[in-house]
A and B are shown apart, each in its own frame.
Chain A
Amino acid sequence: KAGVTQTPRYLIKTRGQQVTLSCSPISGHRSVSWYQQTPGQGLQFLFEYFSETQRNKGNFPGRFSGRQFSNSRSEMNVSTLELGDSALYLCASSRGRQISTDTQYFGPGTRLTVL
C-alpha cells in the first residue's frame, strides 16, 4: 500500500506570495491532518479534514487554510507569506473513525522557504 505523498517536496517563495501544498493520503484513509514543524516551535497542529469538512483546527492565523476533496486528497494554502512561515509542512492521514485513537501516518513533508 502506498504511503502518504506530498508535493512539492521543496518550495522557495518570497514574502507576500501565496503557496499551495498538496497531500495524498493512504488509500482508504478519510482523515487528513496538517502540521507545521520548525526548530523553534517543534511540531504544531494546523487543522484536520474528514469527509471534505474541517473537523479540528489549531491556533494558526486565517492566512493558513485548507480543503479536502471527495477522494480525500487535501491541499493547504498559505497566503501573504511571512519569513516565519518557513518550515517543514507535514501531512498525516488516518482512517478517521475514532479521531482520538487513530494511528496517523505521516508523509515526508514539504520544505517551504520564504525569502
Chain B
Amino acid sequence: GESVGLHLPTLSVQEGDNSIINCAYSNSASDYFIWYKQESGKGPQFIIDIRSNMDKRQGQRVTVLLNKTVKHLSLQIAATQPGDSAVYFCAGSSGGSYIPTFGRGTSLIVHP
C-alpha cells in the first residue's frame, strides 16, 4: 500500500515570508498528487495537483514540486498571508486506483 506523511506537524512563519511544506510518499507507483488546505471548521479545499510526468506546477502564489527519485513533494506558498493559516494535506493515488492516501497534515501558522 501507500503511505503519505508530512515532515513537520507545525510550521510558523511571518507574514510576507515564503512557506514550504513537505510531504513524502512510499509507493513509487503513485502518479497523482494533490495538496489540500483545511481551515478550522471546514472541509479540505483543493489547492493544486500534479501528475508524476511533471516536476513542477505553479498556481496563484503556490508551487508544487515533485521529486520522484526521493519520493518527495513540497508545497511552496509565496508571500504568506494570515489567511493562509490552516492545515495542509498532501494526498497521493496510484495507477487506476482511486483510493487516495492522505498525510496527517501540517499546521501552518502565519504571524502578522
- Top 4 nearest A-B pairs (CB, nearest first) are A106-B43, A43-B102, A99-B98, A42-B104
The count of chain B contact residues (Cβ–Cβ below 8 Å) is: 26
Residue from B41, B43, B91, B103 with most neighbouring chain A CB atoms (10 Å): B43
Contact string against B for A residues 85-96, beta-carbon threshold 8 Å, 1 for contact and 0 otherwise: 000001010000
Interface string of B24-53 (1 = CB under 8 A from A): 000000011010100001111110010100
Is A4 an interface position by the 8 A CB rule? yes
Interface residues of B (CB under 8 A from A): 31-32, 34, 36, 41-46, 49, 51, 89, 91, 93, 95-105
Q: Bound state CA distance, A108 and B96, in angstroms?
A: 28
User: Contact at B32–A104, with CB atoms within 8 Å?
Assistant: no
Partner of B46, one of A43, A58, A104: A104
Whether the pair B43, A107 counts as a contact (CB closer than 8 A) is: yes
In the complex, the chain A residue whose C-beta lies closest to that of B97 is: A100
Whether a CB of chain B sits under 8 angstroms from the CB of A44 is yes
CB distance from A88 to the nearest CB of B (A): 8
Known: A100-B32, A101-B51, A103-B49. A56 touches B99 (CB 8 A): yes
Q: What are 30 A-to-B residue pairs whose CB atoms are below 8 Å? A: A4-B43, A42-B103, A42-B104, A42-B105, A43-B44, A43-B89, A43-B105, A44-B102, A45-B101, A56-B97, A56-B98, A90-B43, A90-B44, A92-B43, A99-B98, A100-B32, A100-B93, A100-B97, A101-B32, A101-B49, A101-B51, A103-B34, A103-B46, A103-B49, A104-B46, A105-B46, A106-B44, A106-B45, A107-B43, A109-B43
B-chain residues with CB within 8 Å of residue A106 when the two chains form the complex: 36, 43-45
Say whether B32 contacts A108, CB under 8 Å. no
Q: How far is the CA of A34 from the CA of B99 in the complex (A)?
A: 11
- Residues from chain B with Cβ under 8 Å of A99 in the complex: 96, 98
Q: How far is the CA of A71 from the CA of B68 in the complex (A)?
A: 40
**A45 CB to closest chain B CB, in angstroms?**
5
